[in-house]
Amino acid sequence: MMTADRTDPPTPEQEAMAAAREIHLARHLGEYTVLHERAEHGGAIDIYAFGPNDHTPHVVLVTSGMSERPMPVPPGHSGVARLELIIAVPADWPGLARSNGQFTALTELGQPRHSWPLHLLSALAHHPHESGTWLGRGHTVPNGNPALPFAEDVAFVGALIGPPLGLPEELADGEPGGVGYLAVLPVTASELAYASDPAEGPDPLIERLRANGVTVAVDRNRAPVA
């Protein structure tokens, strides 16, 4: 559950790491609102909401807290151990539309057809720490087995972890200390199969998405690119 008010105080170390993330993100995405996660057993991962503003026409959602614990990246892999994730939605997305800079209808996020991008972002941010695994560029995550749409009005059945398409490249590079930023890109069943095919793989799919103008912002109606 997300709320605009924090219920548990952060530790000094968490505050220092959060401050570094905030400086880096604000440099590229502007001012933000923090949506705090209520976690009964600790390990809360908040979501920072940026825009729309001069930096982006969308509402950009970035996790904050996933990177506080390093992931067990296997030797020989190029992934970063400390990672935060990004997704974006259109400026008029129900529940995340702003009035005078404030969210005025967060209750609309109680509807699955509106809340699924936040739930997806949060679930993937928690997944490495709960499962003892890691996430990196090119990883695909189906929505269940069999993979089902995230909501009744979208064809997306999984997510591809990739570059934050449409955002500054410097954002993905991360701040000093080794924290990287990757996007959660919702994908259709055909795109999921394409990315999982050893003969094709995730990188060609990422390039197809880029060539077709796909960005980090969710487009409920976009056509598959594979």
Say what the pLDDT of residue 40 is.
Answer: 55
110 is a domain residue: yes
Least confident range from 77-91, 96-110, 130-144: namely 96-110
Q: Are 206 and 160 in contact (CB under 8 A)?
A: yes
Instruction: Choose between 138 and 11: higher pLDDT.
Output: 138
Residue 1: its pLDDT value, please? Answer: 44
Domain that holds residue 24: 2-141+161-185
Answer yes or no: is 201 within a domain.
no
Is residue 80 within 8 A of residue 180, CB to CB? The reply is: yes
63: in domain: yes
Indicate whether 212 pLDDT > 60.
yes
Instruction: Write down the pLDDT at residue 107.
Output: 81
Q: Is residue 195 in a domain?
A: no
Number of structural domains found in the chain: 1
| Average pLDDT estimate for 55-82 | 93
Sequence-distant (6+) residues with CB within 8 A of 159 are 120, 124, 140, 141, 143, 184, 185, 186, 187
Residue 172 lies in a domain: yes
Specify which residues 37 forms β-bridges with: 2
DSSP letter at 72 equals: -
Is the separation of the CB atoms in 192 and 140 below 8 Å?
yes
Sorting pLDDT into bands at 50, 70 and 90, what band is 177? low
Six-digit token string for 55: 């930096």
Query: Which comes out higher in pLDDT, residue 203 or 9?
Result: 203
How high is the pLDDT of residue 175? Answer: 61
Distance (Å, whole) CA 205 – CA 138: 9
Gap between the terminal Cα atoms of the chain: 34
Residue 109 to residue 87: CA distance in whole angstroms: 16
Q: Is residue 224 one of the residues assigned to a domain? A: no
Distance (Å, rounded) from C-alpha 30 to C-alpha 52? Answer: 9
Q: Is residue 83 part of a domain?
A: yes
Would 123 be classed as within a structural domain? yes
Contact 45, 64 (CB under 8 A): yes
| 191 vs 159: CA distance, rounded Å | 10
